[in-house]
Every structure is written in structure tokens, then in C-alpha cells.
Amino acid sequence: MTKKEVLLNQEAYNNVKDNRDKVLNDPYRLTYHLMPPVGLLNDPNGLIQYNGVYHVFYQWNPFETAHGAKFWGHYTSKDMVHWVEEPIALTPSDWYDKNGCYSGSAIESDGKLYLFYTGNVKKENGIRESYQCLAVSSDGVHFEKKGPVLELPEQYTAHFRDPKVWKKDERWYMILGAQTLDEKGAAVLFVSNDLYHWEELGKIAGAGMNGIGDFGYMWECPDLIQLSGKDVLLVSPQGIEPNGELYNNLFQSGYFIGKLDYETLHFQHGSFKELDRGFDFYAPQTFTDESGRIILYGWMGMTDDLEPYQPTIANNWVHALTIPRELEFREEKLIQKPVEELKKRRKNQIVIEGNTCHGESAELLIEVLSNGQFEISIRNEAYLSFNGEMLTLKRRNIKTNGLEARSCKIAAVTKLQIFMDHSSLEIFINDGEEVFTTRYFPNPKDKKISIQGEIEYTWTKWDLG
């Protein structure tokens, strides 16, 4: 570890210590989500189960609640329920990552844990440089930087980042988010035999390819997975205009389903589908655990104009990650379901009589017995309604104080699973057919939840500790 790295890490730890009481006493601090100990958190990184232990790394600015030179924070767990904060994994301390250890992924090889990430460099003349870098660990906690293993190809701008690496047929593959010289988003594939030397294969998808059309000026956080015999490309495109109930956040996250020919690089795929219908979901990443499940985490945040108004900033922290979600296929659609392990957090089960209950860190399970219109009021700050064909989530805008909405079309609502956590909501409809994720900031004293409408239903509540 270099002297600069030691000094930066110590400064970060001191800031955590100095702000600990302020952060922990924030009424909007979450109970069962991963958050920064101080400062700003964004993308989940390096998701892996290594030697039986789950690892979640994340983009972290420990010095302020704004985007700056990112570190990699690190949590571990044996059960995805109880988490341990580990030492800083990556520090922006070298010439190739001095302005940020940007997002990336993790793999295991020969018993060691390998982290791939983008080193961000900003020159004094304003020119940006990006390098795809490697760090290696023998214990999963302490990492040795190996420096850049891939430099910027000439046909892309320096917006070239977020390496996701996997193994197929004894070869290693890396997919990267990119911007072409004519400012079109793309996903680019590379191959390696040893993890240190990479050969470009080419673009597999992007704006203007395969009938996509003009679809964003930059594609971030690509992730290519195999599920039920299909290839699924998850990606977070930037620069898509709203289209009715679609694409209403500043940036989007979604997926293409198809089949990739690794020899010809032809990726025959369907249309882009959004992963989440809420206000705060971006930069998801997946990993495959030892049981074969594909599990996803997302960033429960957005770099929009509301970000500086989040009330937790007054207590020197902002943003969180989603709960872990298992991915499945259902009728040519990606389904997200809370992982089974989260049931271990349930306590104080109540089968609710009537249309009102109270909670702030809880799970609600609502079984809808008859189709019809309804509205659920959550702490008088968020409202979920169904009019027979459109499901809508409204919340108070923290900048304007007015209500804002996100919607999706759905034929019927038969089941709602709502995860509340002080200042977050994750709503799973019909066992993951649709998902709404959002932050919201109710009056801490208001814990009332109520249902109004034409439906028959049963509902159960658990506190989540």
C-alpha cells in the first residue's frame, strides 16, 4: 500500500468516525439496506460469492455528499442478511485512477479474488482518460493493484467504463459500456486467456444497431448473463427521451433478451425493457451464487436535479443499495423477486383486520382477491393506485413539494409485496412482474398505512429488523 493510499484511507476513516453519531441518528437512516457509513454511495460493484461469503462493493465518496473521486467501499455477509463493513478495497491514489476508482466487477480464479474497475483520470486541460484496471486479493479483503490491463480503443471517447467479466468455454470475456466518436451508446466485448491481456472483439449492441435506432449517447454498466438458455444484456443507457409512461427518469436501466453468437458477435435480440418503474433505480449488477441463482443489486438513487435536496445530506450521507433480488424468466420477461434469505428478518407477524396499519421498517404482503380499483397510502407521503389498467406510484417531490408520478400498464394486480425501510420503498407486483423502487421522506412520526378501494384483500405485516 502506497503512502498516498494510506493517507487517503486514514482521512476517510476519520471522516466516518467524526460523523458517526450524526449519521446513525438520522431518522431516515435505513434498517436492512446497505448504505455508506458517511458521504455518498452509488453503483454496486464487484458482486460475488467468494469462498462461501457474499461480497458487495460499492462506489463511495467518503468526504462529501457529492460525486467526486470514488473509492470502493466493501461489505461482506455469510447470509445476505447480516453484513460486516470491511476495510476500503480500492483507493483513487495512482496515476491511472487518481480521479476515481469507477465501477466494475469481480471474479474468482485459482482461489484468488480479482476486481476489474475503471480508472478515471482528469487532466489539467480538462481532457479525460479512462483505463480498465485490475486488483487481486488472496483473502477477499486486502487488494493489490496491478494497474491498467486495457487502454482506450481509438474508436471510442473516454466515456468507456464499467467492466463486467465472466468465463465461458475456458476463456474470459469482458463487456464495457462505451460512447462512440459520434456520441452513440454501445456495449463492447473483449476476450482474454489470462485476465491480464485483452483483445477487442467488437460491439455487440448499441444505438443504431439491430434496429435499436437512436437510443442514448452513453451506455453504462453493461452486464451479460445467461438465463433459461437465453442471453440477457442488462444496460443503463443515458440520453433517452421520455415516451408516455416509459423512460421518465433522467437515466434508465433495462435489458435486451436474445442470443449472442460469440464467433460472429451477432446479438439477435428483442426490444429494450425497463427493469424498474420507480423513481430511484440505476446501475444494476448481477452475480451467480454457489447455488446457481442470479442475484441483482441496484443503486437506489439517481443523479438528477433532486439529488442535492435529499434531507439526509444534512447528516452527511446520501443514497443506498436495493435489497438483493433473484432473477427469473416468465413469459419472455425478466422477473425480480426478493431473495428468500430476507424472510429471516421477519418478526412480529400481524394479519391485519380492517384497512389501516402502522409501520416504518416493515414488509407488507397484500393478496388481492377481487380485481378492482384501489389506492394505498403509505405514511401520507407515497401513494400506490390502480385504475383497472394502469398502476401508478406517486410521491412528494422534495424540491417542489408537489406530487410526481411513475406508472406502468398492467392487466390485473393479484399480489403486492412492499418493503418499507424508513425512507425507501421497494414494491413487487404479482411476484415480480413489475417493480417500483423509490426513496421518500415522510414525517418520521407518521407511520400510517391505509387501503381504500373496490377490492377484497387480505394483508399481513412483519417488522423487519
Q: Which residues form the catalytic set?
A: 43
Q: Which amino acid is at 129?
A: E
CA torsion 99-104-108-111 (nearest 10°) is: 10
Longest dimension (CA), the chain: 66
Quickly count: other Cβ atoms within 10 Å of residue 64's Cβ. Answer: 14
Quickly count: other Cβ atoms within 10 Å of residue 244's Cβ. Answer: 8
Q: What's 246's DSSP letter? A: B
Instruction: Map residue 83 onto helix, strand or coil.
Output: strand
Q: Evaluate the CA torsion angle 17, 18, 19, 22 in order and state its sign.
A: positive
Name the grid cell of 197. 491481456
Name the grid cell of 215. 437510443
Asked if residue 463 lies in contact with residue 362, where contact means CB atoms within 8 angstroms, the answer is: yes
Quickly count: other Cβ atoms within 10 Å of residue 388's Cβ. Answer: 14
> How far is residue 403's CA from residue 397's CA, in Å, rounded to a whole number?
6
> How far is residue 112's CA from residue 235's CA, in Å, rounded to a whole number?
28
CA torsion 416-289-146-8 (nearest 10°) is: 40
> How far is residue 270's CA from residue 211's CA, in Å, rounded to a whole number?
9
Instruction: Map residue 443 onto helix, strand or coil.
Output: coil
Asked if residue 236 lies in contact with residue 286, where contact means CB atoms within 8 angstroms, the answer is: no
> How far is residue 160's CA from residue 186's CA, in Å, rounded to a whole number?
9
Instruction: Map residue 12 onto helix, strand or coil.
Output: helix
> How far is residue 461's CA from residue 231's CA, in Å, rounded to a whole number?
37
